[in-house]
Amino acid sequence: MDIKERFEFADEENDCGFNMVENKRSQRPDLHALLLLDELFPNHGCDIITAACHGQIWLGVKDDDISKLTDEQILELVRCGVWYDDNECLAMNV
């Protein structure tokens, strides 16, 4: 399965959303997702939010790093409102 398919599968499995996330880093799903990505892929001072337009933000995680995500991490991110978009990057609504 490619990364897009893995995100789509996780989205189908996303029963209760953020309520199902264990070991919350924050009580806010968007902040939890950003903190998780920062832990997984520390970028030494680079911004995690790289672009924004029309209520959507794109996250500064490299393609090769995205492919390293486990299925459990993908499900956790999906439960926080993160998806893999057509531009081959991670995105969220704001």
**How many other β-carbons are positioned within 10 Å of the β-carbon of residue 78?**
22
SS3 sequence of 3-41: HHHHHHHHHHHCCCHHHHCCCCCCCCHHHHHHHHHHHHC
Number of domains in the chain: 1
Q: What is the pLDDT of residues 31-77, one digit of tens each?
A: 999 999 999 998 766 889 999 999 999 999 988 899 999 999 999 99
- The pTM of the full predicted model, rounded to 2 decimals, is 0.91
Task: Please give the residue range of the domain that contains residue 73.
Answer: 3-18+25-93
Rounded to whole angstroms, the Cα distance separating 11 from 43 reads 27
Place of tokens 């995205």: 66
**Chain segment 8-35, per-residue pLDDT in tens:** 999 887 777 899 999 999 999 999 999 9
Give the separation between CA 51 and CA 73, rounded to whole angstroms.
23
Sequence-distant (≥ 6) Cβ neighbours of residue 46 within 8 angstroms: 60
